[in-house]
Amino acid sequence: MAENDKIAVIKELCRKKEDYVTAFKEILKIIKGERERPDQFGFSMYDIRGMSVHLLSRLRQDQILKCTYESNKGKWFWLADDLPVEDIERAIEEVDEEQCENEKIGLQNQLPYNIGWLEKWEQMLRDGVDMLEYWSKQINPKVIGLEYVKQVVLLSLASAGDKYGDRGRIHVLMYGDPGTAKSAIGGWLVHTLGIIGASHRTSDVGLTGDARGDTIAPGILPVANERAVYIDELDKFSEKDRYGLLESMEEGEVIIHAGKTHVRLPARCRVIAGANSIKNFAPELLDRFDFKVDLKIPGIDEEKEIIAQIVEAWREAKEGYYGEELRAYLEWIKSYEPKIPDEVRKMIAILIQAFIDMNEAVRGSIRKKESIVRVAYTIAKLNRRAMKAEDVLHAIRLLYPTINGGQVTILQTLMGMVR
């Protein structure tokens, strides 16, 4: 058999079984002197990991191995003289590359994102790209400006679930006059990104659900359990619904009363809500929102700039508008749990305590301080890395956007001193 035909047989065998690849690699180690020669005559079948009677028979049949000595104690073998070691190594490498490519294709068929995206994201993370800033720009890129709003909405979408009694879910409330882009962002989240949506017009059973006879009809919140939900015009929902929302946001469940009994349904949602007015909202409900964003009608100069950008982008493709890559990235990081090193835990406490000392206005709500930890943890999750002290400072600046530069400098200095 010609050398090329023998190489083709080696490739065929390596494609069939991983053990055969192992056997060839073991043989090559002995031939090249990387492993001690088992016997002066060569090697036996039992000296080669991955070797089998079937494989040995095939290798002898196709003249890839030659028998060098035979006795009543056994048989010893060596590689055929006309087979260069380099050609066998190259054949094995080619098969390895084929299998890697096939594994990538198979993985791509199973995953909600393609391998090209994955490689791009991993490179961005290695390059230190701020993923909060990067992905927030793809929250309805047709909406001009509102960078801060898009960042806090992204934090809600990416936030972790509840674990060990700690709420990981981040809730966002956007409120203000009609025409401030609340529904444009919320509608994009529902109709393009695919999160669950609710309004007072679309649900017969409200946010929590309803009991009719022996039948329990779950509302939007139980339906959206472990997912994100956008609630439009929250101020037009009933007080009963808003109380149910309070239960869902804090406890992760809703209670539906059915006659003399009541049923508890899991409702661990990440809530993004819009409202024109919050004057009738209970303080307890408002306190559950990590971010409360008061959206204003743009001034005349800002409005002119927005119009100019709208005209420029009219019926033009906008990167990320359809949300496929953002949706895939959120799925990729969904189960990622950032580590929190002990020194970072200590720094979190020190920074928050120092921030409280500097700001009398932020005292009194432990829940608000827990938001700092939640947001910092989610920033780390978005960047698929362990939590850093810098994430805490970033979280403070997002939750308290009016914090002055002097206070930020003090916190940065403190962070450097403790390190």
What is the signed CA dihedral for 159, 169, 227, 337, rounded to 10 degrees?
40
Q: Which residues 6+ apart lie within 8 Å of 148 measured at CB? A: 293, 398, 401
- When pLDDT is cut at 50, 70 and 90, the band that residue 286 belongs to is very high
On whether both 270 and 391 belong to a single domain, the answer is no
On whether both 301 and 220 belong to a single domain, the answer is yes
Distance (Å, rounded) from C-alpha 394 to C-alpha 374? 12
On whether both 86 and 225 belong to a single domain, the answer is no
Q: How many CA atoms lie within 13 A of 152 on its CB side?
A: 27
On whether both 324 and 349 belong to a single domain, the answer is no
Summarize the confidence of residues 75-81 as an average pLDDT: 92
Taking only the tens place, the pLDDT of each residue in 326-340 is: 999 999 999 999 999
Please give the structure tokens belonging to residue 30: 């002995």
Taking only the tens place, the pLDDT of each residue in 230-262 is: 999 999 999 989 999 999 998 999 988 766 677
Render 330-355 in DSSP notation, one character per residue. HHHHTT------HHHHHHHHHHHHHH
On whether both 236 and 256 belong to a single domain, the answer is yes
Domains in the chain, number: 3
On whether both 242 and 378 belong to a single domain, the answer is no
Q: Are 309 and 191 in contact (CB under 8 A)?
A: no
Residue 135 lies in a domain: no
Question: Last residue of a domain, which of 50, 82, 106?
Answer: 106
Residue 120 lies in a domain: no
Share of the chain above pLDDT 90, in %: 48
On whether both 290 and 176 belong to a single domain, the answer is yes
- When pLDDT is cut at 50, 70 and 90, the band that residue 136 belongs to is very high
On whether both 309 and 375 belong to a single domain, the answer is no
Residue 121 lies in a domain: no
44: domain range? 3-106
CATH number at residue 49: 1.10.10
On whether both 410 and 279 belong to a single domain, the answer is no
Residue 348 lies in a domain: yes
Please give the structure tokens belonging to residue 184: 């444009």
Q: Are 172 and 157 in contact (CB under 8 A)?
A: no
Summarize the confidence of residues 204-233 as an average pLDDT: 85
Place of tokens 């409120």: 175
